[in-house]
Amino acid sequence: FDVIAYSDRKKYTGKDQALHFFEHDYVFREAVWNRLEQTTHSISKFDFVFTPDFSLWVDLNTNFFNKESIFKTRFVGAYWQHCGFNVIPTVSWGNIDSFKYCLEGLPTNSILAISGMGHRKSVAAKKLWEYALRKIEEQKKPTMLLIYGEQEDIPFVRVPIKFIECFISKK
């Protein structure tokens, strides 16, 4: 299937397509969270829908905002599943403390999607990215990882990986 960004959704039929939310929160937050029923109806044409990727942060002293983002992502995904959508869960994390809760509510032995953006900007970001991939594989045992981002070699991950071309590599 082709993967379409939420901001481009009106240009496509949805047939053999998956809708993703790997965009800045301001593009979808209001529509997805505050107008969930209306948005649900408008995206129902897509064969697959990723859960929204509400941002998590690494530099917050409190995990409140990150926990709220995880809650919103899981709630919307569960609602869309209840509505009969084929939902592809997304995995997000913030700082190292977020691993106490960021994988909760995700299925095991399933396809999972993650953003592959931003982990190349520093050594610390790269280490956190690698830690996350190991934790996801260890705890959730995904059947496949869909990574939104530029293709790269990830030799320590044993599950199949499919890279989704991101807006950077498209341009």
What is the mean pLDDT of each successive set of 10 residues along the chain, which is 171 residues long? 95 97 94 97 98 88 87 98 98 93 97 91 91 97 96 93 79 49
DSSP calls for the chain: -EEEEGGGGGGS--TTEEEE--S-HHHHHIIIIITHHHHHHHHTTSSEEEPP-----SS-SSSHHHHHHHHHHHHHHHHHHHTT--EE-EE---SGGGGGTTTTTPPSSSEEEEE-SSTTS-HHHHHHHHHHHHHHHHHH--SEEEEES-----TT--S-EEEE--HHHH-
0.85 exceeded by pTM: yes
pLDDT of residue 168: 57
